[in-house]
Amino acid sequence: MDDRFNTIAGWALFSGVVALGLSSLSSHYFSADKPHRPHEMGYEIEGVEVEGGEEEVPLATLLAAADPARGEAVFAKCASCHTINQGGANGIGPNLYGVMGASIGGHAPGFAYSDALTSHGGSWDFANMDAWLKSPKAFASGTKMTFAGLSKPEDRANIIVYMNNQGSNLPLPPPPAEDVVETGNDGEPGTGDTAGVGADPGDGAGPAGAETQAGPAAAGAMAQPAPKVEGGGDPN
């Protein structure tokens, strides 16, 4: 009886080993021509994009498209510590009316700013405010502000525009202009006439202005047919 049991157990163990071996071999066989990309590159390879990477939108572009009404809704997260109305009292955080453009760590009189802010220097321009709202601790290590920050660039742009409307009204930075390639008469980039580009059609600058200056009378004269010559002689 024991011999029979041992035989059965041995065959069962042998079958399991064979199945495991076949499974391992098949997985290596079917994925042999499908190499996996390593989780971390040993060095940067030109032309290979980083997975999950996104091109960062310039702050000026975000500010130009920002919505102050949405910024006011985002500011609700700050209202437990800050007021933003003119003459508002300081709370856990300072009153923020007119803060844009003011000196960092010195905007609200009587408020006890942390040394991390008072020693930072500079002013609350758009770039500094964006960095501060993204991560206060990264902007000024040692700050007393416990807010973790706003991770979405659109939220930061919206709240910055809203705050700017509350007593600051700084001019927004212009978004970066797109590169424009001029095409000349020969079809080659950069060889065209640019004297009339952006000029008023009637100022005489460039071909458009010259054509406009000629006026209807000249255009009409050009449209007149040439005098008919009788007998092929001199018309005069």
The confidence score (pLDDT) of residue 23 equals 72
CB 69 within 8 A of CB 165: no
Report d(CA 163, CA 84) in Å as an integer.
Answer: 8
- pTM (whole model) above 0.75: no
DSSP symbol at 122: S
The confidence score (pLDDT) of residue 48 equals 41
Tens digit of each residue's pLDDT (9 = 90 or more) over 75-108: 999 999 999 999 999 999 999 999 999 999 989 9
Place of tokens 């500011």: 75
CB 104 within 8 A of CB 123: yes
The HSE-up count of residue 232 (CA atoms within 13 Å, CB side) is: 0
| Domains within the chain, CATH numbers bracketed | 59-164 (1.10.760.10)
Highest mean pLDDT of the ranges 4-13, 30-39, 84-93, 182-191? 84-93
Q: What is the DSSP code string of 81-107?
A: T---STTPPP-SS---TT-TTSBTT-S
Tens digit of each residue's pLDDT (9 = 90 or more) over 19-78: 777 776 666 555 545 555 555 555 444 444 444 456 789 999 999 999 999 999 999 999
